[in-house]
Structure 1
Amino acid sequence: MQEPVQPFDWQRILIDQFPWTYLGEVAFRTVFMFVVLLTALTVSGKREVRQLSVYELVLLIGLGSAAGDPMFYHDVPLSSAVVVFTVIMGCYKLVTYISDRNKRIRQTLEGKPVYVIENGCILIDNFDREDLTLDELMSDLRVEGIEQLGEVRTAIREPNGQLSVFRFKAEETRKGLPILPKLFDKHTDHVQEPGSYACCTCGYVQTFDKPAQQPPCPTCSNPVWVEAAD
């Protein structure tokens, strides 16, 4: 029969039944899991990071677990949590120090800014590599108050997953792909009326003088179009 837990048993609170040398193993486990978390978040891409640096996210995950377990489980000694905190903060400081001084390591771990829109058109090759869907891109643009791609001179996806948007001047705005859902949902593969139409994949704008069945986009070969918005 298990003995009842005695309140304020300092041996149990600080180290439990483990020898003090066990804290060395705790430190090793912490470094190992820090590397695993950093690798996993680097590989998973910017979608999982979003607004936090990969280092900050690793720090939050690691410290959150280290802080939570000793609060709830009587058999998790406080000394182990202190070692975890110390080692994680040390790893964080070391990795950020190295990253700040080595551009190649920084870009490998954090990524680098990527152009996804230029002159009102989506850069398909860059866009496809960014693990970003068209719906997500349009949502980010709408948050910035953009109604159609002809307003966008440049859009850059930052290493933390956020989108930086630079507009044309008002007098330079041209027709472009509408990103408001009600207008975008009117897309078609059969242009029935002459006019300017935007490719639903890359935003390229083309003028059709007569009805056309599935005209392919000269930029990305997509056959689906929607009437370009002013």
Structure 2
Amino acid sequence: MKEIFEWNRLFFNGLPENFILEVIFRSTVMFLILLLTLKLAGKRGVKQLSVFETVIIIALGSAAGDPMFYEDVGIIPAATVFLVIISLYRSVTWLTGKSKKFEEFIEGKTECFIQEGKFSISTFKKESLAQDEFFSELRIKSIEHLGQVKNAFIETSGEISVFYYPDQEVKYGLPILPSLFLKKNKTIPINGVFACAFCGHTEKQKAGTAKCNVCSKEEWVEAIKTIRTT
């Protein structure tokens, strides 16, 4: 039965102390191999990462890490893994340049989330991005309501691109500030312009209840019409 806090086992796992020198050598070699691999991958491989490129980085990290300190993992097999991964990476990037369908399969495609100040429902249902998460992305860009946004896209990198209405064209829109959005209710308290809490469609409503003409949902938020301040 092993005792707890066996210092030699805890710090060296039963290996001789001079194994540290081998760890230093292994780490240096794998660092250089990793650096060379990313260099060969090109600038595109170290910018905003796609799903495929993320897989590549994870695979490289695993192949690089184990030989650094596991005595039973050799450097040559790990280097072979690097060669295979970089060959696959080069092959896939070549194919994405040759085939648009293959590129969309690997990289995905840009999707429009907001069109003319309201959600594109068909696109939003296909993506896993939650409404709260999307609102957070917009608030980071100093957006208060959807009426300020002409179009918004989710790029293949996962980033959000936003195109704004000019100040003179800003319309009533669904507020995305928590203090206002959380006032959504199925009961419309007064006559005025209200926005559907689900899709952002705005229209004049009378006090009472109503269904959205676009998505048939029944929760509403009083719409606001303010210009962006940067």
| TM-score, normalised relative to structure 2 | 0.77
Give the Å deviation of 1:4.
6.4
In structure 2, the gaps of 5 or more residues are: 1-13, 27-47, 226-230
1:196 aligned onto 2:185: no
Q: 2:220 aligns with which of 214, 221, 225?
A: 225
- In 1, distance between residues paired with 2:154 and 2:95? 24
Q: 1:157 aligns with which of 150, 154, 157?
A: 154
Give the Å deviation of 1:7.
5.2
Higher relative contact order (CA 8 A, sep 6+): 1
Q: Secondary structure at the match of 1:164?
A: strand
The share of aligned pairs that are identical, in percent, is 41
- In 1, distance between residues paired with 2:224 and 2:176? 9
Give the Å deviation of 1:54.
2.2
- In 1, distance between residues paired with 2:19 and 2:173? 69
Q: Secondary structure at the match of 1:191?
A: coil
* 1:60 corresponds to: 57
1:91-170 aligned at under 5 Å gives the runs 91-170=88-167
| TM-score, normalised relative to structure 1 | 0.77
Contact 1:55 1:96 (C-alpha < 8 Å) held by counterparts: no
Q: Structure 1 residue runs of 4+, over 2 Å off?
A: 3-8
Give the Å deviation of 1:155.
0.7
**What is the Cα-based RMSD across aligned positions, in Å?**
2.1
Give the Å deviation of 1:206.
1.2
In structure 1, the gaps of 5 or more residues are: 15-50
Q: Secondary structure at the match of 1:223?
A: coil
Q: How many residues align?
A: 188
Contact 1:148 1:176 (C-alpha < 8 Å) held by counterparts: yes
Structure 2 residue identity aligned to 1:114: E
* 2:171 corresponds to: 174
